[in-house]
Structure 1
């Protein structure tokens, strides 16, 4: 079959006529929103459409249904590896459901977040996915009041539909791993207190410490940002004071923090995986490629992305805050099992 002449617009009616099927049959065969039919008739229609050079105008057909099949995704920044990976998974999950995902960045300022969200809504997106939520964030509340379809991803405000990892379980797994290796002098560097991730990971870490009946100094529980520079500052505070009691292990609530702590440890000639055990969080691709591969808590971003899309396109009566289970990935940075020395046991008892 010859393709249409250059400049000729091939319509669905043309495809139906060339295929010898009805207009509705051709439309169903070429509908990309769901799982493609595997029937011989549908395959024939798709083959004819390809030979004719037919291109479905999904935007026009979506407008006729009062939708654009487009979702807006708002992230703080794409220079953050986790956010970039999260958007990639959201894009895949959206595409599998016949949607297109577009991204905007907002930084950490609530006003910038609001403006970025309005920019996406001005593009007539069918819903918003926010990876920016703060516990004190007004944006999710305003979206609820306006009836805007939305879902929070990775973080939650405890009210809006949310897809995230079980951060409390993740924090528990990280610190339990260090305890099982024989450590009792454990510091925790967690994320900002305005994020659900920071609070939940710290809660899980504290639960593990309480179960082991160990109480490290309060000053060893630091709240920081999620950047490498924040980890370096925390590492300096924990490791840099000569003659003072130091932790033998640290749980860092994301891998960026852990990498900053590695840099601080190197500055003070402390060997990660030997002198200091370290566990991060998120298991970004770089974690396993470091000079001393980083133990980390892996979060199933693909599951979280699929859940976030479904919360918008297939809303149901199930719980709207859905958590996926994280997994601890042990590597060399957490070291080998160690026996607590008499000094360690005495320090732990007096802490």
Structure 2
């Protein structure tokens, strides 16, 4: 077999020469989009492997006007939900023959725009944003420039979006607490500039009103999505005298719920004996806490697959697609321990 020059990168020409075929035949045999099972194609692939040939997919895709690469923009990867969302996008992208690269932007809209431009400078075929704020300028700019994109987890109400049905999720969480007999229920929502925060609050309010429970504005608290935000909000709600504090809390994500747990412990309040608690997102830690956390589970893999579908097939309707969440009851809301353990993944 003819060998390539030692130390030099193996080229398609080298593979063709060593296989005894033309360059075009070798190219077709090594094209991952073509699943030829012929003996000749198998021979070429075997020779390529023996020579250590690596096909430059980026260059060949670029010649076709695409890179098979998607950019993913998240606020931060230290946020468990955002990290899990990116992993789900990675899996869904790989299943469609795409590679996903991530950039972080924090919470500043200008940093978000710069991070998006950095990804676009890499010639990505589309952007997936987990950063959208209500009234955000970036999705509007992408629509104006006709950049293929999709929003995940959050939506601005205009751009193609794959999200969980947060209003249904908020409703399920509070309905669960109502069904357990609670009437003094507080809600700690996410930031009011996010669709997740406003929708989960709307669902919670609907469950309260449906049950004939008056909504107490002082028990509807907007907070950030971090553990410290949950602790601060929990202190505000739980430091009051026994007659002035709620018996149940719906926290709009699991980090907030863990902060509430810490505030409850600080104030000598036992969960679930003195306070029932439900979180959101069903992060892996929620089932492993000393008191397993009841939480609303969001199908991230379904959301990721939908987002890529919206980019690959632009113009399909509906533009905004909502995946149905599921309540996972555990011990923190007062579910019997035997039931809670059965519900754990």
TM-score, length basis structure 1: 0.89
Give the aligned partner of residue 280 of structure 1.
Answer: 279
CA contact (8 A) 1:192 1:198 kept: yes
Question: How much does 1:85 deviate?
Answer: 1.0
Give the aligned partner of residue 344 of structure 1.
Answer: none
Give the aligned partner of residue 341 of structure 1.
Answer: none
Give the aligned partner of residue 161 of structure 1.
Answer: 160
In structure 2, relative to structure 1, the CA distance for the partners of 1:31 and 1:315 (3 Å cut) is: farther
Give the aligned partner of residue 11 of structure 1.
Answer: 11
Give the aligned partner of residue 237 of structure 1.
Answer: 236
CA contact (8 A) 1:3 1:51 kept: no
* Runs of 4+ with deviation above 6 angstroms: none
1:254 paired to 2:264: no
1:148 paired to 2:150: no
CA contact (8 A) 2:164 2:325 kept: yes
CA contact (8 A) 1:168 1:203 kept: yes
Name the CA distance, whole Å, in 1 between partners of 2:24 and 2:202.
Answer: 56
Q: Does 4-13 or 61-70 show the bigger shift?
A: 4-13
Give the aligned partner of residue 68 of structure 2.
Answer: 69
Question: How much does 1:68 deviate?
Answer: 2.1
Question: How much does 1:9 deviate?
Answer: 3.5
TM-score, length basis structure 2: 0.90
Alignment of 1:41-120 (within 5 A): 41=39, 43-120=42-119
Count of aligned positions: 335
Name the CA distance, whole Å, in 2 between partners of 1:40 and 1:333.
Answer: 60
Stretches of structure 2 lacking an aligned partner (at least 5 in a row): 337-345
Give the aligned partner of residue 183 of structure 1.
Answer: 182
Question: How much does 1:45 deviate?
Answer: 4.0
Name the CA distance, whole Å, in 2 between partners of 1:206 and 1:177.
Answer: 13
Question: How much does 1:228 deviate?
Answer: 0.8
Name the CA distance, whole Å, in 1 between partners of 2:3 and 2:157.
Answer: 55
In structure 2, relative to structure 1, the CA distance for the partners of 1:249 and 1:7 (3 Å cut) is: same
CA contact (8 A) 1:191 1:226 kept: yes
Name the CA distance, whole Å, in 1 between partners of 2:65 and 2:212.
Answer: 59
CA contact (8 A) 2:2 2:17 kept: no
Name the CA distance, whole Å, in 2 between partners of 1:181 and 1:244.
Answer: 19
In structure 2, relative to structure 1, the CA distance for the partners of 1:249 and 1:214 (3 Å cut) is: same
Name the CA distance, whole Å, in 2 between partners of 1:5 and 1:269.
Answer: 74
Instruction: State the secondary structure of the residue aligned to 2:186.
Output: strand
CA contact (8 A) 1:189 1:252 kept: yes
Name the CA distance, whole Å, in 2 between partners of 1:50 and 1:256.
Answer: 48
Question: How much does 1:39 deviate?
Answer: 3.0
Question: How much does 1:231 deviate?
Answer: 0.6
CA contact (8 A) 1:2 1:52 kept: no
Name the CA distance, whole Å, in 2 between partners of 1:315 and 1:3.
Answer: 46
Give the aligned partner of residue 39 of structure 1.
Answer: 37
Question: How much does 1:43 deviate?
Answer: 4.7
1:125 paired to 2:100: no
Alignment of 1:322-341 (within 5 A): 322-336=321-335
CA contact (8 A) 1:255 1:281 kept: yes
CA contact (8 A) 1:4 1:53 kept: no
In structure 2, relative to structure 1, the CA distance for the partners of 1:208 and 1:127 (3 Å cut) is: same
Stretches of structure 1 lacking an aligned partner (at least 5 in a row): 338-351
Q: Cα RMSD over matched residues? A: 2.1
Name the CA distance, whole Å, in 2 between partners of 1:44 and 1:316.
Answer: 42
In structure 2, relative to structure 1, the CA distance for the partners of 1:178 and 1:20 (3 Å cut) is: farther
CA contact (8 A) 1:298 1:326 kept: yes
In structure 2, relative to structure 1, the CA distance for the partners of 1:218 and 1:81 (3 Å cut) is: same
